[in-house]
Amino acid sequence: MIGLWCDALSGSGIGIRNTTSKNSTSATFLVNDSAFSLLRYTTMTNRIVAAALHEINESSESKNTNTSSIKLLGLNGGFEPSWIESVYRGFTTQGIEKFFNYSCTAQSMAKCANKRVQCVVLHHEKGLINAYAQGEAQPIYPSYYPDSLDELKRWRSTGLNLTKMPSELNMSNPDQWIYGKNYYRHLISELGFPLLKIKAFQKDRRLENDMIGHMKCFRMVEDSFFDSLQYPLREDI
């Protein structure tokens, strides 16, 4: 997956052109190919576009751009330790340049060649955070149900109240969203979480599934559902 993203970014000129050029892309979004959209979700695009415009204005006015304004926003991640999951991410111009310079060098990509996915998680997800200054990279939702009171308070400071979770959830029994269990269902029903990871071993028995080898694939809606979605126009993104 890292190689595919790097190829796409290289093809669009990322990592080659001057980031202050008027032809530079102001906002870039990377979405995992196993992410299934459940609803129209604009929080990511709105926040990154606003941050990108702020970044452009700072550059055009020759101000100091080495501030901690947001440059990478991830749908999922954590604060302790700080990291951004790769399922859905948005970048400003400076943010995508930092991603490219960290992830897309021959040396960086070789680190996980012919290795398991855990290497990609450690190097290209958790390690990526080191390419950004404090405050430049932030998640919107926690990948796991927080395992400490400090973590709960940190998420509350972002406007996400996780204290009213179902009784089945507790800090001693961490639950990741991709498994489709109690934590995921709460994110969907109460907190507006927009995605399903269709390649995950989801445990929600409300979903239909087929077996393909050892992988379960799910359909939550009929094909007609996609015709009813109000996708944003290109000029609005």
| 3-state SS, residue 38 | coil
Q: Are the C-beta atoms of residues 98 and 132 closer than 8 Å to each other?
A: yes
For residue 181, how many other CB atoms are within 10 A of its CB? Answer: 17
Distance CA 31, CA 143 (A): 16
Segments forming the whole domain that contains residue 193: 2-236
Binned at pLDDT 50, 70 and 90, residue 47 comes out as very high
User: Is 198 in contact with 215 (CB distance < 8 Å)?
Assistant: no
Q: Strand 195-197 and strand 27-31: pairing?
A: unpaired
Q: Which of 29, 38, 37, 40 has its CA nearest to residue 230?
A: 40
pLDDT one-digit tens code per residue, 73-119: 999 999 877 899 989 999 999 999 999 999 998 888 788 877 777 88
Domain count, the chain: 1
Identify which of 83, 72, 14 has the alpha carbon closest to the alpha carbon of residue 44: 72
Spatial separation of the C-alpha atoms in residues 176 and 160, rounded to whole Å: 17
The pLDDT assigned to 10 comes to 84
User: In the numeric block, which tokens belong to residue 67?
Assistant: 């501030």
Report the b/e string of 53-67 with b at 16+ CB within 10 A: eebbebeeeeeebee
Assess whether pLDDT exceeds 70 at residue 25: no
Q: What is the pLDDT of residue 166?
A: 60
The model's pTM is 0.75
Range 159-176 average pLDDT: 69
Handedness of CA 146, 150, 155, 159 (dihedral sign): positive
